[in-house]
Amino acid sequence: MNIRSTKAGIAYSLEYIDFPDEKIRLTKLYQKATKLGEKHLMVRPWFPPVYRESNLPDVDTIVDVAVVANEMWKVGDLVDWWYADCYWTGRLTKVLENEKFQIKLLPPPKGEGNSYDVSGKDLRPALDWSPFDGWTIPEVVPL
């Protein structure tokens, strides 16, 4: 990955590992996404590995940022749900049986606002990333 500073701002030359035929192209770190001129972050590093408290590796083997999550999800947790080949962010609203949960997705424009019954194996903690602060726990988001 090549990082450049241009008159338009910081840009990254990105290579898409999953799409080898895709050309490497320059992508701005922030791009305007609305008519109001709001800038949205377009590039971030890979999501850090997530470990359960009961299954932590030797701390000396962790070379970068890692997430340590509680053993059990609970109502109110802000999570990312893997569905239809992408992650959707929402809040757990109900604990069901057999490692199942109910999630309410973020409202538009960041989500669709609907509720779903989901499997716990498809969840990870929700995190935000910025070039200034790195990975952080998101601010409380009203649903």
pLDDT-derived band at 143, boundaries 50, 70, 90 = low
50-136 topology per CATH:
SH3 type barrels. (2.30.30)
What pLDDT does 103 receive? 98
- Residue 67, strand partner residues: 50
> CA 88, CA 85: separation in Å to the nearest integer?
10
Give which of 2, 47, 49, 65 is closest to 29, Cα–Cα.
2
> CA 95, CA 131: separation in Å to the nearest integer?
35
What mean pLDDT is reported for the chain? 83
What residue spans define the domains of the chain?
A: 2-41, 50-136
Mean pLDDT calculated for residue range 33-42: 72
pLDDT-derived band at 142, boundaries 50, 70, 90 = low
**Phi, psi torsion values for 39, nearest 5 degrees:** -95, 140
